[in-house]
Amino acid sequence: MSYEIDQLKLSEQIISLAKKVSVTAGLYIFLTFIIVSFIYMVGLISLIGSPDEFIKLSNQTIAEEFIATNATEIMIVNMVASIILHYFFGGIYGMIKKVNVQPYADLGSAFTTIFSKQGLKALNVIILIQIVTTAISYFLELACFGLVGLGISLLIQLLTYFAVPSIYISNFNIRKSVNFSIQTVNQKPGFLFAFIAFTYLLSFIGILFFGIGIVLTLPLNYIVAYSLYTHITAQQV
């Protein structure tokens, strides 16, 4: 199904949702960072052997040696942390859906969303995408084609951009969510790539404010994904 993008209408929807959920979503992201950071540290400590050995990594020479000898294990820990992070961030879609029926966003709706059947399906998609992109990047890096691996990984992420939103918003199954996303992105790849890239650039401006600002700007990525998805699917009715 073909679709058109009304940029004015889409922008108005994004701004409206941002006003309603950005602060609460920012708090949720802050809590998520704390949870995932703890899990990540536990993973590294279990890899190193003890908290004392972990502290020694503050020495640059020891850290470089550890990274060199444990590259594969570190990659796995990073991949697991990334999966958990993206899984928790999906709760923002639940917040956005909730403000359509009530005047405020709440943290409870985020946790209810990710710990649901839809959350489990979304987790499976996230794991699938993460494993595929990580494997491609890893093996192409070994073959000295790191930039090619990065390009392919970015392409896969673009093509599957709507997979998780479609699960949370329309309750698609895993296969349908991925197929829908690929078909939708393929119709307007240039516009969607530019629009999404610009959104990510805006969201990461928060890093400039001592890194803390990203807590408030990162929700924009999910607000835009939700708005784009509903803007497109509304034309199917």
HEC assignment per residue over 97-121: HHCCCCCCCCHHHHHHHHCCHHHHH
Token pair in block for residue 5: 């993008």
φ, ψ of residue 227 to 5 degrees: the values are -65, -45
**What is the rounded distance in angstroms from the CA atom of residue 125 to the CA atom of residue 150?**
20
Residue 116 lies in a domain: yes
* Count of structural domains within the chain: 1
pTM: 0.89
Residue 62 lies in a domain: yes
Q: Output the pLDDT for position 175.
A: 95
Residue 87 lies in a domain: yes
Residue 114 lies in a domain: yes
Q: Output the pLDDT for position 118.
A: 95
Q: Which of 3, 2, 10, 15 is nearest to 220 (CA)?
A: 15
Residue 1 lies in a domain: no
Residue 2 lies in a domain: no
Q: Do 164 and 122 meet the contact criterion of CB atoms below 8 Å apart?
A: yes
Residue 132 lies in a domain: yes
Residue 21 lies in a domain: yes
**What is the rounded distance in angstroms from the CA atom of residue 30 to the CA atom of residue 107?**
12
Token pair in block for residue 149: 């691996």
Q: Output the pLDDT for position 168.
A: 96
Owning domain of residue 24: 7-236
Over its length of 237 residues, how does the chain's per-residue pLDDT go in tens digits?
688 899 999 999 999 999 899 889 989 999 999 999 998 888 888 877 766 666 666 777 777 777 777 778 888 888 999 999 999 999 999 999 988 887 778 889 999 999 999 999 999 999 999 999 999 988 898 888 889 989 999 999 999 999 999 999 999 999 999 999 999 999 999 999 999 999 888 877 766 665 566 777 888 999 999 999 999 999 875
Q: Output the pLDDT for position 75.
A: 86
Tens of pLDDT, residue by residue over 107-143, are 899 999 999 999 999 999 999 999 999 999 888 988 8
